[in-house]
């Protein structure tokens, strides 16, 4: 018998136990084992079959590592049909997460029981595919078209109670999956219950599938799988029989399986899990963190404190004045009220989090017992060094001292203490209690234990933590500054900011760079430009229209006007006509004759600038692996997940073409478009970024 599926006979019941840790994915051995188990049960004269999973879960889906490789027999859809066709009574007993192909095996069984904590769902669209083993045909037959559409197009996991309510399972029972499954199967046999195949049930009802398709396309912002899944469910309602529906599902599944979006989304799935695995952390235990200090309660400090409180960490926050204390408390309470309104916390929890769990003070002595401190004061080296000096004298030994600086050198900050090994950068993104990205910046003397503590904190706060070395802007802001510059250059040369924003949102970003500037406040970037101006390389092209807008007092959303005009109560803005005048003036002063750019060229320049800078970041060792950059862009900058990240996108487009385009742009502006040495090297060796991910 197969090692992946154990076979056991309990009276008239054949028991098939999946043992393929960690999540009982339905790889080839599991599929072979299931088929062999069904055949053996039938040939041995069993009357029922029980399927369940050993360890932490029932099957959590197809084995994603097999995607893109030649499929191996038995295929999952055929296996599901075979299970359903068995003359014996087949029962699935679910615990843990019955997902994707896993739930499809359960739907092919004749009866389903689950423990109360079991979760189930068809999350395939999040991997760029759709349920391909009958899920789009069987689920609507049980739950109805509308409920099936909602579950399949969102990939949402539902609990056992909701599954029972939707008729997806027949019973909920507390206990071990083997025991509750055996009892249920015996009860069915004793009652003479019939074999009950979902595929033989009547087709589900009609709904407005075209409207659902349109809505899925719009919500997907360029992601195709949810919309394709609508068409598959439609086939369940419209096809002439169950077999024809399965065939349609298969066609749509195969189209998606062959798509670059599937590759992008699977890359995102595995990278999200790989990003926190660092060789230098193997066997290193993080320090215990039972409470946290935060210095500065402005936008970031308040957000960081909120995130810590929501993760169950008591917080001591230090501000400069009593007014600062009150303002910081107000911000944190505002954030937590939002969590309360969205049902994330209860009124009692709100009271506890804003009460005993939160101390806001002006005296650093209050930090005496905290285990980790995050500094989020003004972005000024003098102020930061002074704060770290004070932390050094007030914090107990062994405390991790972190800075949330966006651009400053963490080594210089660490040098203000007598314990630089304890100093690290923890770069949160705004709003810090919402955004998933956390860059963990390693300074020259940061110890592995402190780094491990940073990653452990990231996990506790439910962030995607990415290791970064030190450079101007670390991984994310450095790359963002470069592609934003590329956007400004195309505008200086003739494209409009609105064309750029549209091209970028059509690609799948939630916002373009100019709308983003308006949201963040144009004055912030203006200040950074002024700071950099004295050391700017004379070869750098400098668009002026951005500063001209700021000089007029227009800073974006906060002043009601920037690249767009924001009317009270209206979502989004309308183009500010003054911007075109400023651009024309800038062009005239710089002697530029504007030209038209196609949307494709705008996008290509934007993306080439992003990829080129990302390759520099990897080549210089600031990011360890291409996937680290990809995760930063996905979780901090709204890069569309279905492309996997800029370097996955680059691999999918072909590195040679990207390098050739960079060379052609360099003919106009050789300073900005200097090809990344790593990109040159990969192209000359015929390699991809993916190979670097695998070899790291």
Active site residues: 104, 124
Task: Please list, residue by residue across 516-554, b when 16 or more beta carbons sit within 10 angstroms of its beta carbon and e when fewer do.
Answer: bbbbbbbbebbebeeeeeeeeeeeeeebbbbbbbbeeeb
d(CA 624, CA 673): 23
- Using the contact rule CB under 6 A, the part of the chain among 98-106, 191-199, 239-247, 339-347 near ligand 3HC is 98-106
Stretch that binds ligand 3HC, among 18-26, 490-498, 505-513, 554-562 (CB under 6 A): 18-26
Q: How many residues bind ligand 3HC (CB under 6 A)?
A: 23
548 touches 586 (CB < 8 A): yes
| CB closest to ligand NAI, residue no | 298
Among 96, 102, 226, 301, binds ligand NAI (CB under 6 A): 301
Picked from ligand NAI, ligand 3HC, none, the partner binding residue 34 (CB below 5 to 8 A depending on kind) is none
Residues of this chain, 46-85, that bind ligand 3HC according to CB under 6 A: 60-65, 76
124 binds, among ligand 3HC, ligand NAI, none (CB under 5 to 8 A by kind): ligand 3HC
Q: Is residue 137 a contact residue for ligand NAI (CB under 6 A)?
A: no
| Beta carbon nearer to ligand NAI, 113 or 318 | 318
DSSP letter for each residue of 338-378: HHHHTTSS-HHHHHHHHTTTEEEES-GGGGTT-SEEEE---
Q: What share of the chain is helix, strand, coil (3-state, %, to 5)?
A: 55, 10, 35
Residue 529 phi, psi (nearest 5): -65, -40
Residue 141: name the closest of 177, 109, 116, 166 by CA: 166
Q: Which is nearer to ligand NAI, 117 or 527 (CB)?
A: 527
With CB under 6 A as the contact rule, the residue among 300, 315, 353, 441 that binds ligand NAI is 300
Q: Residue 360 is encoded by which pair of tokens?
A: 């806001």
404 binds ligand NAI (CB under 6 A): yes
Q: Does residue 437 touch ligand 3HC according to CB under 6 A?
A: no
CB 443 to ligand NAI: min, Å: 15
Minimum distance of ligand 3HC from residue 156's CB (angstroms):
12
Does residue 298 bind ligand NAI (CB under 6 A)?
yes
Q: Is the dihedral of CA 142, 143, 149, 152 positive or negative?
A: negative
Residue closer to ligand NAI (CB basis): 244 or 361: 361
Report the C-alpha gap between 261 and 228 in whole angstroms. 13
Preceding amide of 74 cis, omega within 30: yes
Across the beta sheet with 158-159, the strand order is: 97-99, 119-121, 158-159
| Candidate list 86, 92, 93, 97; residue touching ligand 3HC; CB under 6 A | 97
Q: Are 218 and 51 in contact (CB under 8 A)?
A: no
String of contacts with ligand NAI for each residue 545-584, x by CB under 6 A: ----------------------------------------
DSSP element (H, E) containing 648: helix 646-653
Please tell me whether residue 100 binds ligand 3HC under the rule CB under 6 A. Answer: yes
376 makes contact with ligand NAI (CB under 6 A): yes
Asked whether position 683 contacts ligand NAI by CB under 6 A, the answer is no
Span interacting with ligand NAI, options 52-60, 113-121, 393-401, 426-434, rule CB under 6 A: 426-434
Question: Counting contacts by CB under 6 A, is residue 441 touching ligand NAI?
Answer: no
Residue 674 binds which of ligand NAI, ligand 3HC, none (CB < 5-8 A, kind-dependent): none
Measured distance CA(557)–CA(515) in Å, rounded: 9
Q: Does 22 contact ligand 3HC by CB under 6 A? A: yes
Q: Is 441 in the site for ligand 3HC (CB under 6 A)?
A: no
- Stretch of 100-108, 214-222, 294-302, 675-683 contacting ligand NAI, by CB under 6 A: 294-302
476 touches, from ligand NAI, ligand 3HC, none (C-beta below 5 to 8 Å by class): none
Distances (CA, A) of 357 to 91, 349, 366, 387, 434: 48, 10, 13, 23, 20
**Calpha distance 150→154 (Å, rounded):** 6
In the range 302-331, which residues lie near ligand 3HC by CB under 6 A?
A: none
- What Cα–Cα distance (Å) separates residue 597 from each residue in 490, 503, 665? 8, 11, 13
Tokens coding 603:
């996008």
Bridge partners of 6?
17
- Choosing from 20, 186, 271, 406, the residue that interacts with ligand NAI (CB under 6 A) is 406
Alpha helices in 177-321 (DSSP H): 177-190, 209-220, 225-238, 242-257, 260-274, 299-310
Asked whether position 377 contacts ligand NAI by CB under 6 A, the answer is yes
User: What is the contact surface with ligand NAI in residues (CB under 6 A)?
Assistant: 295-301, 318-320, 324, 376-379, 383, 387, 404-406, 428-430
Q: By the criterion CB under 6 A, which residues form the site for ligand 3HC?
A: 22-23, 25, 60-65, 76, 97, 99-101, 104, 123-124, 127, 131-133, 135, 273
């Amino acid at each position: 018998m197969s090692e992946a599926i154990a076979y056991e006979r309990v009276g008239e019941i054949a028991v098939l136990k999946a043992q393929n840790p960690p999540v009982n994915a339905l790889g080839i051995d599991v599929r072979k084992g299931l088929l062999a188990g069904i055949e053996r049960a039938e040939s041995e004269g069993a009357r029922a079959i029980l399927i369940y999973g050993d360890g932490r879960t029932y099957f959590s889906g197809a084995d994603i590592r097999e995607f893109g490789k030649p499929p191996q027999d038995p295929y999952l859809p055929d296996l599901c049909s075979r299970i359903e066709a068995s003359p014996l009574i087949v029962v699935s007993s679910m615990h843990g997460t019955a997902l994707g192909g896993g739930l499809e095996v359960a739907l092919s069984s004749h009866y389903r029981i689950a423990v109360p904590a079991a979760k189930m769902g068809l999350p395939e669209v999040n991997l760029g595919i759709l349920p391909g083993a009958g899920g789009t045909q069987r689920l609507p037959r049980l739950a109805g078209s509308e409920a099936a559409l909602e579950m399949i197009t969102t990939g949402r996991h539902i609990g056992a109670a909701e599954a029972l309510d939707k008729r997806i399972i027949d019973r909920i029972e507390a206990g071990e999956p083997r025991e509750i499954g055996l009892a249920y199967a015996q009860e069915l046999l004793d009652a003479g219950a019939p074999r009950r195949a979902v595929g033989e049930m009547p087709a589900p009802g009609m709904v407005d599938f075209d409207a659902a398709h349109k809505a899925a396309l719009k919500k997907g912002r360029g992601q195709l799988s949810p919309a394709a899944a609508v068409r598959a469910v439609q086939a369940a309602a419209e096809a002439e029989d169950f077999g024809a529906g399965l065939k349609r599902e298969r066609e749509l599944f195969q189209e998606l399986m062959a798509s670059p979006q599937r590759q992008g989304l699977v890359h995102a799935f595995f990278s999200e899990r790989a990003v926190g695995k660092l060789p230098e952390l193997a066997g290193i235990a993080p320090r215990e963190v039972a409470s946290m200090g935060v210095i500065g309660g402005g936008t970031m400090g308040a957000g960081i404190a909120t995130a810590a409180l929501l993760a169950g960490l008591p917080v001591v926050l230090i501000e400069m004045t009593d007014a600062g204390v009150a303002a910081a408390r107000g911000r944190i309470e505002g954030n937590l009220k939002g969590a309360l309104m969205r049902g994330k916390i209860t009124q009692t929890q709100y009271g506890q989090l804003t009460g005993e769990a939160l101390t806001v003070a002006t005296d650093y002595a209050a930090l005496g017992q905290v285990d980790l401190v995050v500094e989020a004061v003004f972005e000024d080296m003098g102020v930061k060094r002074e704060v770290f000096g004070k932390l050094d004298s007030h914090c107990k030994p062994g405390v991790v001292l972190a800075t949330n600086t966006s651009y400053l050198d963490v080594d210089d900050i660490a040098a203000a203490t007598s314990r630089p090994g304890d100093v690290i950068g923890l770069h949160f993104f705004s709003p810090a209690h919402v955004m998933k990205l956390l860059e963990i910046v390693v300074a020259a003397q940061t110890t592995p234990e402190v780094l491990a503590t940073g990653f452990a904190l990231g996990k506790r706060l439910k962030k995607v933590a990415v290791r970064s070395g030190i450079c101007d802007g670390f991984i994310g802001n450095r790359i963002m500054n470069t592609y934003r510059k590329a956007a400004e250059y195309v505008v200086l040369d003739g494209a409009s900011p609105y064309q750029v924003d549209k091209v970028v949102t059509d690609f799948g970003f939630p916002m373009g760079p100019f709308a983003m500037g308006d949201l963040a406040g144009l004055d912030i970037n203006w200040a950074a430009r002024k700071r950099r101006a004295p050391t700017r390389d004379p070869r750098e092209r400098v668009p002026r229209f951005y500063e001209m807008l700021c000089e007029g007092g227009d800073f974006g959303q906060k002043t009601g006007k920037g690249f767009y005009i924001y009317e009270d109560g209206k979502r989004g803005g309308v183009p500010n006509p003054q911007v075109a005048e400023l651009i024309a003036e800038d062009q005239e002063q710089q002697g530029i004759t504007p030209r038209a750019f196609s949307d494709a060229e705008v996008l290509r320049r934007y993306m080439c600038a992003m990829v080129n800078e990302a390759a520099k970041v990897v080549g210089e060792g600031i990011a360890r692996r291409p996937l680290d950059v990809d995760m930063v862009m996905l979780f901090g900058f709204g890069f569309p997940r279905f492309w996997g990240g800029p370097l996955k996108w680059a691999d999918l487009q072909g590195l040679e073409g990207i390098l050739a385009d960079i060379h052609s742009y360099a003919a106009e502006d050789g300073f900005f478009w200097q090809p990344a040495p790593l990109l040159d090297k990969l192209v000359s060796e015929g390699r991809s970024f993916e190979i670097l991910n695998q070899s790291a």
